Chain A
C-alpha cells in the first residue's frame, strides 16, 4: 500500500451528538514537507433518519465504508440520504457504492451529471434546490447557498438542531501529519498557521479568486454565518471549526492572501 495513503481506518469521531466526522487524510509533498489534507464526509443523525454529507474521496472509500459500518453497529437511525456538495470525485465518488449498500438511501441536492457517472441509479436521485430541506426527525437538513465554490452547481448544507454548516470547499486548508494534527479540530491545533494553509488551498484550488474581487464573497460568507447562527463548521477539506469567532477571521485572511499570491505550483 502507498506510503502516502491511510493504512489504518481511524474510528469516526463524534464532534457533537449525532454529527460524525469520517474519512482519513491524504498526503501530498509540498515544499520539502508532507502536507495532509481531508476530503471528509460527515454523518448527520436525526431521530428517524441519517444523512451523509459528501460521499468520500475515491482513495478513502474503503475506509468510509468501514466507518459507516462501525456507526451502524452502535445503533441509530438508518442512512436514508446522501448529499454531495458538488460533482467532483473527492466529494461524491462514493455515492454509487453507498446507494447500492443502502437500498433505502437516495442521493439528494445537486444531482446533475450523475446519470452518466453512476448509470443505472437515476431513479434514486432527488434534485433539491437551495432553500429546500429534509426532515431527519428533530432536525432539518437545509440546502443553502454555496458562497465559496468552484462548480456553479455547488450547494452547502446546514443542520438546524446543532447549527452545523457543511461548506464543501469552503474553509479548506491542510495540516501536518508529523505534528500530530490529524483528526483534530482547528482549535485543537493552535500551532497550525491556518491563514497560511487556507491561502495555499485557495491558490491551488480556487484559481478564480486570483482574477476576481474576493471581498463580496467574504461579506456574504460572514452574513451567512451570522444569519444561521452557525456554531460548528464542518468543511470537506479542513479541520472542523468549533470557535467561529476565533478561527473564521484566519480563514478570511487566507482567502485574501490566496487571491493575490503568485503561482505556487511546483516548478517546471
Chain B
C-alpha cells in the first residue's frame, strides 16, 4: 500500500486483475479516513503541539447517541444512525477474507450505523438498582453472498460460484445482550449490570467503545427520566473544538428554574438541552446557573477545558452590563445516577454612568433580561 491519495493505475492495454479494483477502493477510503482524522484530532496536550496519537475515538454529530425511548415503548433504547471512528485500532489487515487488495491498513476504523437501532431493555424485577452499559465495536466483515462466475484456472473457463461481494462496517442489526461480567461479542453490546444497593458499572469489554451507561430502578417501567442515560460518546469536531451557544430569558420575579426560558440553542446535533436556575444573592448581583448533562466529551471530563462568555445587551445608552463567570465545575450525581454534570455559574451587575461615576444598580436590568451564552469546549 502506497501513501495517502495514491491511486491505482490501469495502463493502456494492461490486463487488470481483481486486486487492482480492490486496491483502488482501499486507496480512496484510506485518504478519506486520514483526512477526517487529521481534521478532527486535537493536539496532544497543552505543552505538546503534536496531534494526539493514537487518534481518539469519536462520533460525528448524533451518530450512535443513545436516546430515551418514546413514551409508548418504555423498555426500548434507541441508538441514532450515523458515522463514528475508532482510533488507535492496531489490527491492520491485508487481503481480508483472502481477497487480494481488500486492505484496511489505517488505525482509524469506521463505526457505521445505517439505520436506527432499537434495544430491548432487560427488566429489573429486583428491589435494587442496576446500571447497564451499551458498548460498540467496529464491524469489518465480508457480506452479500452472490452468484458470480470465477475462473477455473485448469480449464480456463468461468464457472458459477458463490462469493461475497461487499466489505461492510455497518453495525445495523448486529446487537447482542450479555450479563456482566461476561464480555460482549456482538458489534453492539448490551451489557446488563448486577442489581445492588450501590450498583457498579459493568466493565467495558476490551476492544469496545462505551456509548452510554443507564440506570434501571427497581420496579421501574423502563425509562422515566432522560437523565437515567449518561452519554459517553466523544464528539468529532474540527481539531477537537466546538461551541455550544444559547440565548435565555431570565425573569427576576420568578425564582429558580421556572424563571429561566431557553429562547435559542445552537449546538452540534446530539448535545442535550441544558437546564437553568437563577438567584439574586445580593441587591446588586444576579446569578444564573447553567447545567449541562450528557455532553459528548468521552469518558474524560475536565472543567479546565471550558471557556464561557455571557453577555447582556445594554438596556440604555448609559447602562453597561457586566457579566462574569463565577465558577465552572464538574460533578457527578451520586449513584444510582452515573451522570457527570458540568455547571457554569455566572454573576451579573450593571454599571451605569450616573454623572461622572459608575454605580451598580440591579434594577437597571430589564425584566425579563436576555442573556447570550457561548461555551467553548476544547
Q: Do A and B bind each other?
A: no
Binding site for A on B (CB under 8 A): none
Binding site for B on A (CB under 8 A): none
